[in-house]
Structure 1
């Protein structure tokens, strides 16, 4: 099915709708209304602007057996390894929303200015939610660099409808594609769902990525609930040993609404133990307020969860936009 969204039915596709056999269906419209307008809502107020003290100017390339990861913010990363420059879920837009005038707004600048980006070879997009699939950013990247865009089935149609020049290629779970002489990527199941509007729920697939690099394997998780940890154990078993995992720690309150789709920090610590990665980096926090917890709550709760699990805090690091981690 390389590069195409036409697909025969499978254990996670009925010919029309995608489903996670080990997951949960997305919340109903009534439950969304209860969360947004219910009397028990306790929404923290984020600062209007929370700038990062860091800004990165990446090198042109990273060679040898190294990898350099720069945190752009929210779920966006630049990974430089094997002579390739790879962006994950790139969002340089001001808002993550179908509207330019409404919806969650950035609280800090991207950790790399767009004009400071090196030549981008490949973009990985985990799924279709607006805080991960940002068409405006993909168009800008296409205009400047014309990268390959690797994404789960169906998201290529969203991209190409918006801008036919986007070089989108769609893959199913467990499909692997070579993206450089020393780098390959495999799409793996993750516990989530997808939609761009009210009437297209789960019409496109969602995934996480396992990157094979000269510096070891990198497990890049976009959005995921924890469930019973099966997806993380499966990846550890099928793709381990993992050198590094990028794990989401934010957008988790209230738990009754969010737990099936977004991990909280204690879930993320269990996910690290399950997948067995030597090191983890946190993301999906601190840039866009999508849910009810305070801006600094994920970082505080992660430190507590690590201490409780007797895992050194440095094994699961929290970067600010513009900070860099090197292997």
Structure 2
């Protein structure tokens, strides 16, 4: 017993020491609220959605608890998720999308390379010990990505903003970080140089390597520690001279998509959030059917679903989003690609759907 304690006590003290230092660091920085007041989205000390929140009744809460305890959904695959190795070539023309899992994606638009929401962490959490754990490892090493022109972070939740990935990209790349208002405080806390941080409000833009990157509205929320909505969230338009992309980021379905389509569309392709949904959360995540509706609203071109198959963030079966979005896209005759993690999609030469997820149980 004494021998075990001699090993256990230092390990426990080490874990506690790590938690005291690393978890508060992962929380990020404190935004300058005075600077945030310039935004029309900032009211009464917080950022707000355009639409009022949906009020849930007690029955919805009971249904959520019952599903959590007795639902029986398969929330992770029975066999490993297949990963596609990195290809050595990086095209200088056309529009190509590489999906790394969850929302992390590389957009290669006529030679301009933009990384979106890079999360390489084992857990979507401030802790290495608890929190949603990956169902597959990252298909490519972060250090081996090609030279980037820009890095977009859609909002500050742990499954979209990875502190360790930000530090690695600061060291290995020279690209600027483009983020919604307030998120820059987290990056500065992690020693990203201030001159590499560009913060945007909705419908503000910046131009990088001939590509205009615009933040647009979304219906979501923010927060990494004990405060909520002190940073902004956004969807994103990435527009070159000839090609353009839309990324919903995390959002409930709302009428803003039609306005985005009118103002910025049509698009050649769209990354659309389809996972981590529940009837109790209509304000923050779309169902696959709502994702298709949003895609139709913005006139999104090729639909590439994201925000599924990596972290378990809801109660539905792990593969259900892909089955549902495939059925809904077919019903509306929408071009669709469902890549494996690491697979690059050529928007001009889309392969037939391979239902790879259905073979995994």
Tell me, yes or no, if the aligned pair for 2:143 and 2:168 is still in contact at 8 Å.
no
Q: Give, in whole Å, the separation in 1 of the partners of 2:63 and 2:189.
A: 32
The Cα shift of 1:319 comes to: 1.3
Q: Deviations over 1:170-219 (max 9, x none)?
A: 11000010011x2110000011111112x311000000110012441100
Which one of 172, 175, 190 corresponds to residue 204 of structure 2? Answer: 175
State the partner residue of 1:71. 99
State the partner residue of 1:320. 340
Match status 1:50 vs 2:80? yes
1:71 match: secondary structure: strand
The structure whose Rg is larger is 2
Q: Give, in whole Å, the separation in 2 of the partners of 1:27 and 1:144.
A: 45
State the partner residue of 1:208. 235
User: Is there any run of 5+ residues in structure 2 with no aligned partner, and where?
Assistant: 1-31, 348-361
The Cα shift of 1:49 comes to: 6.2
TM-align CA RMSD? 2.6
TM-score (norm 2): 0.79
Match status 1:62 vs 2:81? no
The Cα shift of 1:48 comes to: 7.2
Large movers: runs of 4+ above 4 Å: 25-28, 30-36
Tell me, yes or no, if the aligned pair for 1:57 and 1:112 is still in contact at 8 Å.
no
More helix, by proportion: 2
From the superposition, tell whether residues 163 and 86 of structure 1 become closer, same or farther in structure 2 (CA, over 3 Å): same
2:303 match: secondary structure: strand
TM-score (norm 1): 0.87
The Cα shift of 1:144 comes to: 0.8
- 1:109-128 aligned within 5 A: 109-128=137-156
- 1:1-327 aligned within 5 A: 6-14=35-43, 16-24=45-53, 38-41=65-68, 42=71, 44=73, 45-47=75-77, 50-59=80-89, 61-64=90-93, 66-165=94-193, 167-180=196-209, 182-197=210-225, 199-227=226-254, 230-253=255-278, 255=279, 257-309=280-332, 311-312=333-334, 315-327=335-347
From the superposition, tell whether residues 31 and 236 of structure 1 become closer, same or farther in structure 2 (CA, over 3 Å): same
